[in-house]
């Protein structure tokens, strides 16, 4: 059976980390962008990550951070995957990842007029930039960093890219099954869609989101 990977981002409390693990998510995200309401210091992230069980990936989200800042944050927090979510070029993402010697995701913020060939070309450039490149994260373009809980047109994603991309932007318990069944991404990433308030996760919404994704997996596999 297909198994879509699930990342819950923007964790700030031990109980939220525990809820992610209990629900069976595959990755936990920590935001290192000081202007975000979900920001945690590298040291605080390290304390939270210490509570993760084995085989749950600790991911660090960065916005326009320097290579030195990224390397220092990785050392202090012990995240094992980077996510560049700002205006970084492919070369800048590669340089920061090389400084930290850590694999990374690069965001592509999808606009209404984005063409499929743009996504494929950007992925090609990223992959050629560094062996540490792990994949694209597709989010909704807004005049800010992060999709602001808004959905983009999933039909813009090429079928031959979706299966190795991470889908983000406006996902929720209500649309997750349809999104995964339609696009069949490698993974999904959610933050505000499972919150009681900014930076405070709701364990019931986390569990419901995981169930919704698994329902799509079952549909795809015909079970």
* CA 208 vs CA 74, 154, 172, 179, 196: distances in Å: 31, 22, 9, 15, 14
Catalytic choice (16, 93, 126, 139)? 139
* CA 159 vs CA 29, 121, 217: distances in Å: 26, 14, 17
Catalytic choice (9, 16, 93, 126)? 9
Instruction: Say how far apart CA 76 and CA 44 lie, in whole Å.
Output: 9
Helices (H) and strands (E) in the chain, counts: 8, 10
Instruction: Say how far apart CA 6 and CA 210 lie, in whole Å.
Output: 7
- Is residue 93 part of the annotated active site? The answer reads no
- Is residue 139 part of the annotated active site? The answer reads yes
Instruction: Say how far apart CA 73 and CA 36 lie, in whole Å.
Output: 16
DSSP-H helix ranges across 24-112: 42-49, 67-77, 90-100
- Find the helix or strand (DSSP H, E) in which 16 lies: helix 14-23
Active centre residues (catalytic): 9, 139
């Amino acid at each position: 059976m297909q198994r879509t990977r699930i990342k819950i981002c923007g964790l700030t409390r031990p109980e939220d980390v525990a809820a992610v693990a209990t629900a069976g998510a595959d990755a936990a995200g920590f935001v290192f962008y000081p202007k975000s309401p979900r920001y945690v210091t590298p040291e605080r992230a390290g304390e939270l990550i210490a509570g993760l069980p084995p085989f749950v990936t600790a991911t660090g989200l960065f916005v326009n951070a320097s290579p030195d800042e990224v390397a220092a944050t990785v050392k202090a927090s012990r995240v094992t995957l980077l996510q560049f979510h700002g205006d970084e070029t492919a070369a800048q993402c590669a340089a920061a990842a090389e400084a930290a010697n850590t694999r990374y995701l690069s965001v592509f913020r999808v606009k209404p007029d984005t063409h499929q060939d743009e996504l494929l070309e950007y992925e090609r450039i990223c992959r050629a930039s560094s062996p540490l490149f792990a994949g694209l994260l597709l989010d909704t373009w807004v005049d800010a960093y992060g999709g602001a809980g808004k959905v983009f047109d999933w039909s813009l994603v090429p079928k031959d890219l979706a299966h190795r991309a991470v889908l983000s932007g406006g996902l929720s318990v209500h649309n997750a099954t349809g999104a995964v069944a339609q696009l069949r991404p490698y993974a999904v990433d959610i933050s505000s869609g499972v919150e009681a308030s900014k930076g405070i996760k709701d364990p019931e919404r986390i569990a419901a989101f995981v169930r919704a994704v698994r329902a799509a997996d079952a549909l795809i596999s015909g079970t």
